[in-house]
Amino acid sequence: MLEQLLIFTRGGLILWTCNHFTNALKGSPIDTLIRSCLLEERSGAASFTYDAPGASYSLKWTFHNDLGLVFVAVYQRILHLLYVDDLLAAVKREFSRLYQPQNTAYRDFDEIFRQLQIEAEARAENFKKTNSLPAVAPQRKQQNATWQGEGKNAGSEKKSDGDGDGKKGRRLENGGFVVANNNSNANLKSSGNGSVNIGKENESANIGAFDVNRLQKLKGKGGNGNGNGNGKKKVAVVADKAEPKKVVKKNRVWDDSPPQAKLDFTDHLDGDEDGDKKVDFLAKEQGESMMDKEEVLSSDSEDEEEDDDDDTGKNSKPEAKKKGWFSSMFQSIAGKANLEKSDLEPALKALKDRLMTKNVAEEIAEKLCESVAASLEGKKLASFTRISSTVHTAMEDALVRILTPRRSIDILRDVHAAKEQRKPYVVVFVGVNGVGKSTNLAKVAYWLLQHNTSVMMAACDTFRSGAVEQLRTHARRLQIPIFEKGYEKDPAIVAKEAIQEASRNGSDVVLVDTAGRMQDNEPLMRALSKLIYLNNPDLVLFVGEALVGNDAVDQLSKFNQKLADLSTSTTPRLIDGILLTKFDTIDDKVGAALSMVYVSGAPVMFVGCGQSYTDLKKLNVKSIVKTLLK
């Protein structure tokens, strides 16, 4: 049976709830549904599962978009009630007749709901009886009789239909059967007695065997065996012309004498005169980080015109053109009574294709379109408004809601709060191999230094060769301390000792560099889970490339899943934020930002857009949305 049925407005005002349900809900399934599904543009899903201690619920919902109402039903997940969808539709229909915007209590609806529930349960029982297995038996018996009456030729036809070689068959009037191959010009003839005569062209049993004559001809055309030797001469001439002159590098002679050429090409910043000059160069030439600069958006009038042209031009469906200019103009002026799903499909299909061309994962684009369709279906179209522009506006609002952070991402404020508690603010950088964790860690350190924050690096990538040296180089250039223990050490212990060292030295922030690992590498994921559980960092940053498409969904979802499964804590730490790298190499393919945020719910906190320490900026939500819909 149902556990709860609730009716509320999109603003959160509860209008009616069923009072005859005696069992109280465990946990807060409806609040979780609103936060995790309805506000996250996942309302196109069929249902939502909520697991609480001692109970597991399934939730289904429907909208009345014209009135702005939400209907939610809650029931035990193990029951698999068949009448819930039917009951929600009936409740939506009847309640919309009674709804008045000025009323906030609908006590008279209790009796109506009881009657609707009884009718829905009765229809579900009748559906079970009419769709039981014995009703299918006569049809199967009739089918067997048909096969037996047709005899052997029918059996051969059945086998031919199941052939996987692309062959099709047709029955002759005299009972014979002809098989025609789509990939060859088979010469098949039917005789008078129903048998099939195969022509001379297909007498060989090895139809798919190699044709030796044809291979010899191809070999002769290639110039390597045509008999006259001209092919070999031509190849030799071309080889002589194409062969470049090789530049031979002079071998360095290693002996006891001092080297004549300079061998040390590194930057010495430890105290000599040249080092002092390069420190000044770093401080003056690098300049202010892009994190502290406001990005100015250009005029979007041209983009809107392009959108209008796309909506009315090449992206429009042929079915839409059949309506004609007058009918579309009349519908735009008079408005449409209620939008139906068929009205929204052409515009949503164009938007889905547009999002996928911008590198949005196909699964995410499809779910977004389903959510937008659920929010618009049944809504009245305003006058002088086209369906395409309505869908475009709804999608733009949905994208802004998804990409806008729902919590504070002001790291500087969190650093000062941790400083007041006399403990360092710990940030752990995680991600797959080769995405730029160490480089962007140095960019974050440079930005923090500009805000008078003392930073210490922790070299916890004890797996990759050269990782400690790379981080040591960044620390030397930025003149900040680094905590390292070399290679083949437990990264969780190294991070713990680094945090303890930062507490003793009074460092405000500890930036922990970790080894790159694929999301399917369970030993390395277990080590990462141990590092996070043992040190309990303030921020877990996932570093991902802006170049990835569908792989972004797999990476983030599996990272979160592994951190949850391999953690020994009852409340495991998941990814808190995202750092997108290589953003300067993707042009308008910005869909990875949307895919990552949609999958994890974590905000994009930093965007890497270059090779220097200043090339780190915030995510401009409006710019990303306009680029996605451009």
Give the least confident one: 257-271, 342-356, 473-487: 257-271
- Cα dihedral 355, 361, 366, 367 sign: negative
Q: What are the backbone dihedrals phi and psi of residue 535, each rounded to the nearest 5 degrees, phi first?
A: -105, -15
**Domain made up of 2-123: CATH architecture:** 2-Layer Sandwich (3.30)
For residue 287, the model assigns a pLDDT of: 74
DSSP 422-477: TS-EEEEEE-STTS-HHHHHHHHHHHHHHTT--EEEEE---SSTTHHHHHHHHHHH
For residue 264, the model assigns a pLDDT of: 56
CA distance 40 to 43: 8
What letter represents residue 225's amino acid? G
CA distance 83 to 454: 62
Q: Tens digits of per-residue pLDDT, 88-99?
A: 999 999 999 889
CATH superfamily of 411-621: P-loop containing nucleotide triphosphate hydrolases (3.40.50.300)
Q: Are 70 and 99 in contact (CB under 8 A)?
A: no
CA distance 523 to 525: 5
Kindly provide the b/e burial profile for residues 588-627, where b requires at least 16 CB atoms within 10 angstroms of the residue's own CB.
Answer: ebbbbbbbbbbbbbbbbbbbbbeeebbbbbbbbbeebbbb
For residue 166, the model assigns a pLDDT of: 43
Q: Are 123 and 86 in contact (CB under 8 A)?
A: yes
Find the angle CA(284)-CA(289)-CA(293) to the nearest 5 degrees: 120
Question: Among 549, 551, 556, which residue's Cα sits nearest to residue 575?
Answer: 556
Q: Tens digits of per-residue pLDDT, 66-76?
A: 888 999 999 88
CA distance 393 to 92: 26
The residue with greater pLDDT, 553 or 204, is: 553
Q: Tens digits of per-residue pLDDT, 432-447?
A: 998 999 999 999 999 9
Does 274 have pLDDT greater than 60?
no
Distances (CA, A) of 419 to 315, 447, 541: 55, 18, 20
Does 492 have pLDDT greater than 90?
yes
Out of 150-164, 311-325, 473-487, the most confident range is 473-487
- How many Å separate Cα 562 from the centre of its chain? 17
540: helix, coil or strand?
Answer: strand
Q: How does strand 539-545 pair with strand 509-513?
A: unpaired
Q: Are 161 and 169 in contact (CB under 8 A)?
A: yes
CA distance 589 to 571: 36
269: helix, coil or strand?
Answer: coil
Indicate the angle between helix axes 84-98 and 109-130, nearest 10 degrees: 150
Find the angle CA(337)-CA(338)-CA(342) to the nearest 5 degrees: 125
Q: Once rounded to an integer, what is the mean pLDDT over residues 221-250?
A: 53
For residue 64, the model assigns a pLDDT of: 87
Does 144 have pLDDT greater than 70?
no
What DSSP element (H or E) covers 260? none
CA distance 626 to 303: 8
Q: Tens digits of per-residue pLDDT, 561-620?
A: 888 888 888 888 899 999 999 988 888 888 889 999 998 889 999 999 988 899 999 999
The residue with greater pLDDT, 306 or 558, is: 558
Distances (CA, A) of 131 to 126, 128, 426, 526: 9, 5, 60, 49
Residue with tokens 């002759």: 172
